Structure 1
Amino acid sequence: MARSGRSSGHYLALGALVLSGISFQVGAAVGVLLFPAIGFLAVVGLRLVFGAPILWMVGRPQLGSLTRSDLMTAATFGIVSGAMSLSLFAAVERIGLGVAVTIEFTGPLAVSLLTSRRWLNGCCAVIAAAAVCALTGLSGKADPMGCALGVVAAGLWASSILLSSRMGSTIPGRQGPAVAVAAAAVCFAPVALIHAGRGLADPGILLLGFCVAILATVVPQMLELFAIRRLSRGEYGNLMALYPAIAGIVGVLVLREGLSPLQWTAIATISAVSCIVTISADRRARMPRRMESADSRTAPLAAVSE
């Protein structure tokens, strides 16, 4: 019976992580639908304004028990994550959800590749770079600014991995994400909401903004926290590698985006490379401690929320 219970929890965790990716991408797509009315800045603002209080109530951070260093780490993580959201949504506005998310995903992939000296990961880096070139369009038809914003989002995601790891090791439970999102809301929401102007007087826009907050912030946070406590490093990383493909599918179904066969191939290639790197890092993490290397500690599966 105990074994059956563990198995059920394991499969629930797998499903939770996949559902987390779907929830975030659908929430992002709903946000894109609001771009013509209020712009991407205001969408990010609504997401933070509605998401922060909910996560605060769920996390219930005990500020008195947290050190100044803890609060600074969480706040910095939140500000970096907020900037990442702004960059991502700005990129989505120009190049579409599937392409933007895939470019952004190269951030955590790069963390793993750059911290390894193994020849396999070196080959994976070359393949991933070629896939990104194919995805963004070597013909010059792609929007250069949109691609650049996607690269900025990738860099910010890579930075947030290190901050997330430090925050998770010092702040227990859900307190860290609650403080982080609150800091991001204080930093970015005022300017973003001013940009929305009269659009905030429309109940329909506010309702959609609330949906974006729930789907793209609250639900992914809760599901990922549930999953990461029950899955191995390799399982978590392999499922995270599905996120670019999920973004491409949601972009087609919800936003009617058109991706060429070459772009679909590039998305699949980047996902496959991430799986290979994660499996490699997971195997090395199971070796004796004296054999452990840097790449087994920084696979692209860090508990990072967009």
Structure 2
Amino acid sequence: MRHSLIKTIILACAITLGAPVTTAAASSYPDKPIKIIVGFVPGGPTDLYARIAARGLAEILGQQVVVENRAGASGGIAAASVAKAEPDGYTLLVNVVSDIITPLAKKNVGYNLEKDFSPIGLIADAPNVLVVNPSVPVNSLKELIDYARQHPHTLNYGSAGTGTVSHLAGALLASATNTDITHVPYKGTNGAQMDLLAGRISMMFDNMTNGLANAKAGKVKALAVTSPERWPDAKDLPTMTELGFPGVTIMSVFGLVAPAATPKPVVEKLSNALAEALQNKEYRNNIIQSGAQPGSMNAKEYGEYIAQESRRWEKFLEQHPGIIPAE
């Protein structure tokens, strides 16, 4: 009885003494520069949205926010390093879809986005557009599917790498239509785009800005977008859902997360600052002009999204083992 009472008193003291420390740390946060880690080289979309977020957070929080690029392993090197960083709110990560999926397929990557991070919010998201080389004799998704079925082992699609949205969209399409379309992974989007234009690959799920520009120039044929609804910049293009394939809906997401044990008041301060920054007209326009839309998910909502997508991809990977090699 006495032992239990002593434990209760100790626990109560720990809670009482610990709370002000956390609160004090949050109230003075940030008192030094914040780093946002990006798992890809400068100049790409992830880097762009990280820098928009950095400018907005710096303006609102009154502290320097720097972007550091740690490219490699489709973003995995950066994610693993941030997962192990001090959970004090001074090291953050811009995550992408592959950060959700790769740890589900590869158990030794050193992190799990759902378990090892605290969501802060969504910076931006965008669909991809299915584009085909003009040499492929199709002008609609239905014609593409029919052609793939009539000519098995003929079509292939390029991607920015295994586990990226451009890869997974193709895998979803092949699964939903029961067609044999070979995946050709590249080390980044540029290589796939160049080979598509040269006719060395049949098609790809490209980003909206590049895909629509090439379609307008007659260099490729655009067939559909992967967003749940028609995209403002491509209202003439149907969605996969409209065409009968809702399972091929997939968005490129760019979110902001912190290490898992980051104090809740710090996460809330960052989430509120990000939401405020994304209301800035200049930052919103920068995101929209890049072919994306500004994020509207706060910490709680983005956490729910990550959990939902984790369950979706766990199921898909169980049904399609080998889509992402385990090693």
TM-score tier (shorter): under 0.3
TM (normalized to structure 2)? 0.23
The structure where helix makes up a greater share of residues is 1
Q: Which has the larger radius of gyration?
A: 2
TM (normalized to structure 1)? 0.24
Structure having greater relative contact order (Cα 8 Å, sep ≥ 6): 1
